[in-house]
A and B are shown apart, each in its own frame.
Chain A
Amino acid sequence: MLETLELVVNGEQRSLEVEPRTLLVHALRDGLGLTGAHIGCDTSQCGTCTVLLGGRAVKSCTVLALQADDAEITTIEGLAELGEIHPIQRAFVEHHGLQCGFCTPGMILTAADLLSRDPDPTDETVRHALRGNLCRCTGYQSVVESIQAAGVAIREGDAQ
């Protein structure tokens, strides 16, 4: 039996029919065509499906779509504003924070949650925050550097 799911995705009110067992990641990808939330492990390990739910990073493979009814969701597609990529996205480009890019949407949205709470994280804080995001290409050093650089850019942007 299908139920109606209403939610705000990337600032836009959306409505779709889902099964009660539908996971948020499937609702986003198959229902709304937002394929930036990737499915890597599907067992809550890898973090590629990370989206922001009410501003906080969650693994969308481990949330029922109906649990997100009325919630605000941000996916990687919604992070750029007015055609300008987000400072975290820019930092990943500039600091080689990705190679194949599969894990990147999850890395960036986890970083967005972290930097919203702590805009000047230590190396250790960044690594602790990334525990639920796996990268199989670059290792993590350049990801950590990207996130710290993004923190600097965001702080400078806020100061202006």
Chain B
Amino acid sequence: MIPAHVRYARASDLDHALTLLAEPDAKAIAGGQSLLPVMKLRIARPSLVVDIARLALRDVGFRDDTLRLGPLTTWSQLIETPELRRPALAAIADCAADIGDLQVRNRGTIGGSLAHADPASDMPAVLLALGANLQLCSTNGERAVPLADFILGPFTTGLGTQELITDIVIPIPASGSGSAYVSVEHPASGFALAGAAALVGPAGERMVAVTGVGGRPFLLPADEDPAEALARAEIFGDRFASEEYRRELAAVVATRALERASERAKEDR
């Protein structure tokens, strides 16, 4: 399988990338681990791919009580960053370690995953639970958007045509916090049938987000029992897992994630 005819341009810097993206059917490509498979199936037929992989947006940093993840940071980089193993941020490393497979983790990027917005992708749940904001840059300037407002539905985001994610900003949880990500995957595809990320604060405050069970990952109301919150949520079913099964599975992984996050919160004291 070969993609349909396409042109290729490598962006030399952010402005160049945004200029190239002016073409209506242009698509940005970074690791290509989501885009290339759909181009090969010819579900996606961009006229131009704009290679942004060499822009200087590939790093993990800490600044002003925030963790900054460059959108071009690969899953492998996240796994190999020791600072992401501390209890409050451990959900990021949990999650990255089980995405795709070793080869996909070497190429796939966190920004690419967010822009692709597969409803079963894992990391958005983690970033929702951690309260991440995205920094976006377009030809009209910069803006900050909470992740919860960025992902609109299956494969649909609020990203403009000449706009790119330039930073993923995560407030560092208070000391004494713990986080975790737990999922049950479809054994063949590896995608989550249900995944849940939890953040537990020093006084037992809880944030839980789930993925794989609806049109987009979503936060559960804070401090409500996950099973009760999920009983009211809009859950989808398919040939792999019925609506009823997914609803129960989501409650199971949410409970497990909360337990693990609580244990880690104790380690951080």
Contact = CB atoms under 8 A, between A and B. Distances in A.
Nearest to A22: B2
A58 B3 CA distance: 18
A63 interface: yes
Interface stretch (A42-50, A74-82, A87-95): A42-50
Interface in A109-148: 110, 113-114, 117, 128-133
Interface in A15-38: 19-23, 26
Interface string B1-26: 11111111010000000000000000
Chain A interface bracket (under 10, 10 to 19, 20 to 34, 35 or more): 20 to 34
Nearest to B9: A20
Given A62-B33, A63-B32, A47 B101 contact: yes
Contact of A62 (B8, B80, B102, B107): B107
B1 A113 contact: no
Given A21-B3, A57-B102, A67-B51, 19 more contacts: A3-B8, A20-B7, A20-B8, A21-B4, A21-B39, A57-B106, A58-B107, A59-B107, A62-B107, A64-B8, A64-B49, A66-B51, A67-B29, A67-B53, A69-B10, A114-B102, A129-B102, A131-B101, A132-B103
Interface of A: 1, 3, 19-23, 26, 42-44, 47, 50, 53, 56-59, 62-64, 66-67, 69, 110, 113-114, 117, 128-133
